[in-house]
Amino acid sequence: MPSPVAIDPTHYAVVSAMITPAFFLTAASSMQISSNNRLARVVDRMRADIETLRGLPQGPARVEQEARIAIHRRRSYLVLAAVRMLYAAISAFVGTSLGIAVDAFFGYRLDLVPTGLAVVGVLLMFAASLCLGHEAKLGLRMLDRELDEQLAKDRLEVKE
C-alpha cells in the first residue's frame, strides 16, 4: 500500500549527520568526567599539604612544603583550563548538531558553520589534552621528588 505522504529521504541524512557529533560529545564528556576527578584529587592533595604547612616552623621543610603547594596550584589551574575547554568543546559539538539542522532547514546556506563548529570543538579537545598531559607530567615529577626525599630519609636512618 503506498504511503499517503511522500517521504523525503534527505531528512534521514540530516538526522544521521546530526548524530555524528555525538561521538565527539561522548569523548569530550568522558574527558570531562576524568578531568573533574583529577581536579578533585589535586585539590584534596593541596588541602592536605596546606594543613601540613600550618604546623611547620620557618625553615627548609616549610620552604619545601610551600613549593609542593605551588606545584599543586599550577596543576589545578591546568586541569581547570582543560575543564573549561572541554565544556566549550561540548558546546561546540552541540552547536554542530544544531547547525546541521538549521543549515538543512534554510536550504544549506550556512556553508561552513557546522563544520567550523566541529573543528573548533576538536581543537578545544586537543588543547585540553595538552593541558592534561602537562598536568600529568607535573604530577609525576612531584611523585619522583617525594620518592627521592623518602629514599634519602631512609638512607639517613639506616646510617644512624
Q: Do residues 47 and 130 make contact, with C-beta atoms less than 8 angstroms apart? A: no
pLDDT at 100 over 80: yes
Interval 40-60 mean pLDDT: 93
- List pLDDT tens digits, range 69-81: 999 999 999 999 9
pLDDT at 3 over 70: no
Higher-scoring residue by pLDDT: 140, 13: 140
pLDDT at 18 over 80: no
| Residues 85, 160: Cα–Cα separation, whole Å | 52
pLDDT at 10 over 90: no
Percent share of the chain, pLDDT over 90: 63
| Per-residue pLDDT, 8 | 62
Which residues lie closer than 8 Å to 149 by C-beta, 6 or more apart? 64
| Per-residue pLDDT, 14 | 73
Question: What does the angle CA 134 – CA 139 – CA 143 come to, to the nearest 5 degrees?
Answer: 145
| Per-residue pLDDT, 4 | 62
Closest of 40, 42, 47 to residue 74, by C-alpha:
42
| Per-residue pLDDT, 7 | 58
| Per-residue pLDDT, 84 | 97
Mean pLDDT, the chain, whole residue set:
89
Closest of 117, 98, 115, 105 to residue 11, by C-alpha:
105
Interval 83-96 mean pLDDT: 96
Rounded to the nearest 10°, the torsion over CA 87, 44, 56, 67 is -40
| Per-residue pLDDT, 95 | 94
pLDDT at 85 over 90: yes
